[in-house]
Amino acid sequence: MTSRMKKTFASIMVAGVALALSACAPADPATEQFLNGENSGYISDTYQVVPIDEADRGEPIVFEGETEYGDALASEDLLGEVVVVNFWYAACGPCRVEAPILEEIYQEYKDAGATFVGVNTSDLADTAISFADTYGVTYPSIMDVKSGEVELAFAAAAPMTATPTTIILDKQGRAAVRIIGAVPEASILGTLVRELTEES
């Protein structure tokens, strides 16, 4: 890990998540429960950012599945780009809160060497499409509820003990950053994505 990345992660650890989340939270019961600290409709109400040194990233994570629109999507299609993989489901309060943050950084970096993929762990396609329409999400999600194969592919890098969980893959498809819980704010995610796109 570079010294710049170490400084980034140090600042992340002291960042205040509550203010960032409350500023962009849609007004709905699941989100309000999340912001009030009530454990309902989701698993994780805190976040932890775990960087992985380049020497320790291991093998590329291989996955494939079908999106909410019925399109095939595979990890091999994404090699050469930084890939932000977000595990979510529609009734998850923090998933709703972080959705605009993820979309903002997707729009900022989609033509700058990064892309985003959601992995829906609980819903059918119609529910995922409705969520995307409601929260303005334009990147695709793999529907993983029936097979769990994508979740299994990521299990070694990030056991799915919390929802949401976000894994950022480097250009070789290796897990470089693990975010357990809601993505805290756009500036943090943007910095992580930018620094990974700048890796050789």
Say which CATH number the domain at 165 has: 3.40.30.10
Side-chain half-sphere CA neighbours of 103 within 13 A: 18
Percent of the residues in the chain that have a pLDDT greater than 70, as a whole number: 76
Q: What integer is the mean pLDDT of 161-190?
A: 93
Q: What integer is the mean pLDDT of 29-41?
A: 42
* Cis-peptide into 164, omega within 30 deg: yes
89 pLDDT higher than 50: yes
151 pLDDT higher than 70: yes
Q: What is the pLDDT of residue 17?
A: 36
Residue 137: name the closest of 196, 179, 187, 84 by CA. 84
Residue 188 belongs to domain spanning: 3-197
Q: How confident is the model at residue 100 (pLDDT cuts 50, 70, 90)?
A: very high
128 pLDDT higher than 70: yes
Two tokens, residue 112:
């700058």
Q: What is the pLDDT of residue 156?
A: 79
Residue 129, CA distances (Å) to 73, 97, 183 in order: 16, 17, 21
pLDDT tens for 51-60 read: 999 999 999 9
14 pLDDT higher than 70: no
Lowest average pLDDT, out of 27-36, 139-148, 159-168, goes to 27-36
Q: How confident is the model at residue 9 (pLDDT cuts 50, 70, 90)?
A: very low
Structural domain total, the chain: 1
Gap between the Cα atoms of 199 and 57, Å rounded? 14
Residues in the chain: 200
Q: What integer is the mean pLDDT of 81-94?
A: 97
- How would DSSP label each residue in 50-112? EE--GGG--SPPP-EEEBTTS-EEEGGGTTTSEEEEEEE-TT-HHHHHHHHHHHHHHHHHTTT
Q: What integer is the mean pLDDT of 182-198?
A: 94
SS3 195: helix
Average pLDDT, the chain: 83
Residue 12: name the closest of 138, 200, 187, 194 by CA. 187
141 contacts 161 by C-beta, under 8 angstroms: no
193 pLDDT higher than 90: yes
